[in-house]
């Protein structure tokens, strides 16, 4: 009889492995049957939480690093892309600082023949006020070369002047010479009242047409008759800056201010004193 312990252990090990495999083959179907009911009971008995998956942990998004998608971004207005970045919000703008009534009175006091009552509403437009001056002299030699001077100051009912026009017909006669003198006088008065140093105070020898700070000044001869002059002083809006500035200072476009009592949330009522007994 072989009593060597190493030999006995080597013969026992395969038997134990065979028994373990047989038990596993029998026990595995038993534990997995009926939707793992027996396996769940066994794990619950030993307090092993293996078959119950843990709910996923939600991680809050990092608001600092998260960026919106391109489709979620608001559209960029076209005006921001079309307009150049060099545009200024406003510009220096010239305007008639003297009221229409005062300018009309200056011409009347200087000897110009003012029509009607001076600064008054136009018969064609009640919203337009004007001051007209006209002088005409017919030819004495039987020709059609009459001499004339015409002045037209237009504006609004609040006294704002919007344009100044003058026109003369000055043939080579004594009356024509006097009309040229009237035009020189009118240009001098306009330059003194408007206080624009670049405004000619006499008839220039050549046509004059300029636009400074949104105010056009034009003194030109007529193409068909060199003895006739047309003078025009009128605001212009050549650029967006000039237009924005004029609209900002145009009181006709302002909202009507609320009455003072409506601006207050409540009206303070003083306490009434009791009459002395």
Neighbours of 50 (CB within 10 A): 9
Laid out side by side, the sheet with 161-169 consists of 120-121, 128-137, 147-156, 161-169, 228-235, 215-221, 208-212
Residue written as tokens 């003072």?
A: 260
Residues 9 and 2: beta-carbon distance below 8 Å: no
Q: What is the pLDDT of residue 32?
A: 66
Q: What is the pLDDT of residue 240?
A: 83
Average pLDDT of the chain? 80
Residue 64 scores a pLDDT above 70 = no
Q: What is the pLDDT of residue 275?
A: 55
Q: What is the pLDDT of residue 254?
A: 81
Q: What is the pLDDT of residue 256?
A: 78
**What mean pLDDT comes out for the span 22-51?**
68
Alpha-carbon span 163 to 100, nearest angstrom: 10
Q: What is the pLDDT of residue 17?
A: 77
**What mean pLDDT comes out for the span 52-76?**
65
Instruction: Find the range with the poorest average confidence among 35-44, 47-56, 144-153, 210-219.
Output: 47-56
End-to-end CA distance of the chain: give it in Å, rounded: 143
Convert 236-263 to b/e letters by CB count within 10 Å (16 or more is b).
eeeeebbebbbeeeeeeeeeeeeeeeee
Q: What is the pLDDT of residue 71?
A: 66
Q: What is the pLDDT of residue 54?
A: 61
| Whole-number percent of the chain with pLDDT over 90 | 30
Query: Residue 202 is encoded by which pair of tokens?
Result: 């006499």
Max intra-chain CA distance, the chain: 173
């Amino acid at each position: 009889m072989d009593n060597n312990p190493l030999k006995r252990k080597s013969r026992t090990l395969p038997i134990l492995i065979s028994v373990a495999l047989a038990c596993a083959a029998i026990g595995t179907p038993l534990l997995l049957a009926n939707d793992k009911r027996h396996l769940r009971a066994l794990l619950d008995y030993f307090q092993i939480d293996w078959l119950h998956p843990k709910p996923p942990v939600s991680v809050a998004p990092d608001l600092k690093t998260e960026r919106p998608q391109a489709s979620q971004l608001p559209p960029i207005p076209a005006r921001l892309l079309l307009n150049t970045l060099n545009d200024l919000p406003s510009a220096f703008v010239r305007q008639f600082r003297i009221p229409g009534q005062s300018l009309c009175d200056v011409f009347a006091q200087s000897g110009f023949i003012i029509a009607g009552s001076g600064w008054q509403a136009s018969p064609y437009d009640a919203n337009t006020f004007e001051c007209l001056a006209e002088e005409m002299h017919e030819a004495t030699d039987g020709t059609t070369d009459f001499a004339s001077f015409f002045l037209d100051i237009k504006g609004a009912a609040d006294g704002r002047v919007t344009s100044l026009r003058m026109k003369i017909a000055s043939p080579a006669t004594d009356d024509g010479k006097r009309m040229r003198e009237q035009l020189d006088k009118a240009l001098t008065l306009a330059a003194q009242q408007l206080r624009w140093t670049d405004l000619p105070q006499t008839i220039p020898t050549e046509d004059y047409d300029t636009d400074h700070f949104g105010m056009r000044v034009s003194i030109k001869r007529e193409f068909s008759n060199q003895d006739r002059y047309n003078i025009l002083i009128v605001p212009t809006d050549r650029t967006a800056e000039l237009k924005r500035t004029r609209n900002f200072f145009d009181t006709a476009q302002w909202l009507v201010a609320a009455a003072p009592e409506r601006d207050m949330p409540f009206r303070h009522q003083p306490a009434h004193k009791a009459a002395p007994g």
